[in-house]
Amino acid sequence: MKHPTRMASAVALGASIALLAAACSGGSDEGSTGEASEGADVTLTWWHNSNNEPGRGFYEQAAADYEADHPGVTIEIQALQHEDMLTKLDAAFQTGDTPDVYMERGGGELADHVEAELTMDLTDVAADAVETVGGSVAGWQVDGRTYALPFSVGVVGFWYNTELFEQAGITEAPTTMDEFDDAVSALRDAGIAPVSVGAGDLWPAAHFWYYFAVRQCAQDVLSEAVTSLDFSDECFLRAGEDLEHLIGTEPFNEGFLATPAQSGPTSASALLATGQVAMELAGHWEPGVMQGLTEDQLGLGENTGWFPFPQVDGGEGDPAATLGGGDAWACSADAPPECVDFISYLLSDDVQIGFAENSMGLPTNQAASGSVADPALADLLTVRDSAPYVQLYLDTAFGENVGGAMNDAIGLMFAGDASPQDIVDAIQSAAGTA
């Protein structure tokens, strides 16, 4: 879900994202910096994307608890659907009417905000919270300065319905693309739609090309591309060829070109949550999203399964590398000092433990690692922490201009209107390196 431009900052990103696997450090019970203005009446505006339960209610309670402990501070919350939040944030950055507290995704996107002086430098004013988050913070640094506090860092893989796999006679999750193709065929033969994808929002479809690039390209090629914006290596073309082959096997749900990612009963997430498809490529957020899309608030419940993106023939990438990223709390450049105190509180042990217990993501405060309630999510912690590196979502890594052109071209391939070379050409053209 995702995405940025990179330049100088992205250098740190490429290397730093590799560190996300080992990301966390010791936590703190204090949470707040204690430097907020005493006795002042202050209102903080806070935008986030936990618009379903249990996340929405959890954050409302967290804000209420903070207000109770900080008389004079009022938190005004807007819980927005993810894509709506991104659109609204983009508009706010253009007009300067940004919320005090908002979500940053790092990479070139953050670098653009820093260059435009839209976001607050937290390096010194939130030093304790930065220490709490540990190595995870590297993806949200520009030129050695920290501009956001990551609260969830996770990885992307295939979430699947174990019951439907069993009905199709699939006894083991696929580990190669050949085995994946076999699973798609078995599911279709059993009358089960194999895969849902929210291509209507583009980024879920783009994740397939990103992952093929991670499998086909060596880590140094991807890292160098972040800074050079040179995509001439043949591995990027092979990524498109792999995706073209996958689309040709017709694995996706009916009407996938217009299917939204997570919003409503016809979304890709809802199709998986309600047993209408067998699997979906999605991030660590998926269990929480599915819970909000089912009447019993359980999502797939005990039928939830997960497996990593399969290996590809001839790939030069490390087969254990993962695609991922995270979300971080940031303060707008002109936010009051209480903003720093509030987002530090959101990274405290208590809030991060509640975040983990509600299966809202993979916490960055190590004190909360043992509190992840969902077994599948708990397993992802091991995957994240054992991966040789975690490649940041490529649209986030490459920035809005290049990432947007990349996603558009990938979307055209899903529609049958672009070739593997067309995707590379579109990226190079947007980067000015054609």
Claim to verify: residue 263 and residue 409 sit in the same structural domain: yes
pLDDT of 138 reads 77
Q: How far is residue 108 from each of residues 5, 13, 85, 137, measured CA to CA in Å?
A: 3, 9, 19, 15
* Residue at token pair 């065929």: 185
Amino acid at 258: A
Claim to verify: residue 62 and residue 76 sit in the same structural domain: yes
Claim to verify: residue 347 and residue 247 sit in the same structural domain: no
Task: Give the residues across from 74 on adjacent strands.
Answer: 43
Res. 263 pLDDT band, cuts 50 70 90: confident
Res. 116 pLDDT band, cuts 50 70 90: very high
Task: Give the residues across from 365 on adjacent strands.
Answer: 25
Claim to verify: residue 303 and residue 220 sit in the same structural domain: yes
> Has residue 268 been placed in a domain?
yes
Q: Per the structure block, which two tokens stand in for 116?
A: 């435009």
Give the model confidence (pLDDT) of 40-51 as tens digits: 699 999 999 998
Claim to verify: residue 306 and residue 190 sit in the same structural domain: yes
Give the range of the structural domain holding residue 351, as residue numbers without chain letter: 43-153+325-383
Give the model confidence (pLDDT) of 73-82 as tens digits: 999 999 998 8
Claim to verify: residue 162 and residue 130 sit in the same structural domain: no
pLDDT of 162 reads 97
> Has residue 23 been placed in a domain?
no
| 234-248 helix and 420-431 helix, angle to the nearest 10 degrees | 130
Is it the case that residue 32 has pLDDT exceeding 80? no
pLDDT of 3 reads 31
Q: How far is residue 3 from each of residues 9, 200, 402, measured CA to CA in Å?
A: 14, 17, 10
> Has residue 266 been placed in a domain?
yes
Compute the average pLDDT of residues 193-203.
97
Claim to verify: residue 165 and residue 253 sit in the same structural domain: yes
Is it the case that residue 210 has pLDDT exceeding 60? yes
Q: Per the structure block, which two tokens stand in for 430?
A: 């947007």
Claim to verify: residue 299 and residue 229 sit in the same structural domain: yes
Claim to verify: residue 170 and residue 305 sit in the same structural domain: yes
> Has residue 36 been placed in a domain?
no
> Has residue 38 been placed in a domain?
no
Amino acid at 344: S
Residues recorded for the chain: 434
> Has residue 11 been placed in a domain?
no
Give the model confidence (pLDDT) of 232-248 as tens digits: 999 999 999 999 999 99
Asked whether the beta carbons of 243 and 208 are under 8 A apart, the reply is yes
> Has residue 236 been placed in a domain?
yes
Claim to verify: residue 250 and residue 186 sit in the same structural domain: yes
Q: What is the CATH number of the domain that holds 262?
A: 3.40.190.10
Claim to verify: residue 283 and residue 247 sit in the same structural domain: yes
How many Å apart are CA 133 and CA 128, to the nearest integer?
A: 9
Q: What is the mean pLDDT of the chain?
A: 87
Claim to verify: residue 142 and residue 244 sit in the same structural domain: no
Buried-state track 129-151, b at ≥16 Cβ within 10 A, e below 16: bbebbbbbbbbbbbeeebbbbbb
- Burial bucket for residue 432 (CB in 10 Å: 0-12, 13-18, 19+): exposed
Res. 26 pLDDT band, cuts 50 70 90: very low
Sign of CA dihedral 77, 80, 83, 87: negative
Q: How many domains does the chain have?
A: 2
> Has residue 33 been placed in a domain?
no
How many Å apart are CA 361 and CA 283, to the nearest integer?
A: 9
Amino acid at 113: H
Give the model confidence (pLDDT) of 344-397 as tens digits: 999 999 999 999 998 888 899 989 989 988 888 888 888 887 888 888 899 988
Give the model confidence (pLDDT) of 245-258 as tens digits: 999 999 999 999 99
pLDDT of 159 reads 96
pLDDT of 38 reads 54
